Amino acid sequence: MKIFLSYLNDSKIHLKEFEVAEGSTVQDLLKHKKVRHLIKGLNHDYKIGVNGEILDGKFFPKPDKYRLQEGERVEFYRPLKVDPKENRKKRSC
C-alpha cells in the first residue's frame, strides 16, 4: 500500500512516497533504510505524527502500535521556536 512521509529540512517541505505491506506500523516504516537515512539528515529533534495528529500514546497510539492505512501521511514535527501563547501576548501589547 502507498503511504507518504512529510518532513521539513533546510526550510523546505519534503514529501516522499513509500510502499509498505498491509498492516505495517509507523515503527516498521521508521526501520526502512531510506527513512533511517532521512532521519540521520534531520538537524533537529522531532516528534512523529500521522495526518496532523501526534503519536504520543495519549490520544493516539505510539508509533509501534499505530497501523498505517492506504494514503496516510506520516510526519516529522520539529519543536516550536516560540511559544504561540507568548507570541500572541507580545503582539497584543
Averaged pLDDT, 26-33 = 94
Residue 26 has pLDDT above 90, yes or no: yes
Give pLDDT, residue 51.
96
Rounded Cα gap, residues 34 and 45, in angstroms? 18
Averaged pLDDT, 17-41 = 93
Rounded Cα gap, residues 44 and 79, in angstroms? 8
Rounded Cα gap, residues 19 and 8, in angstroms? 21
Give pLDDT, residue 42.
78
Q: Tens digits of per-residue pLDDT, 36-93?
A: 998 888 777 889 999 999 999 999 999 999 999 999 999 998 887 788 888 888 887 7
Residue 19 has pLDDT above 90, yes or no: yes
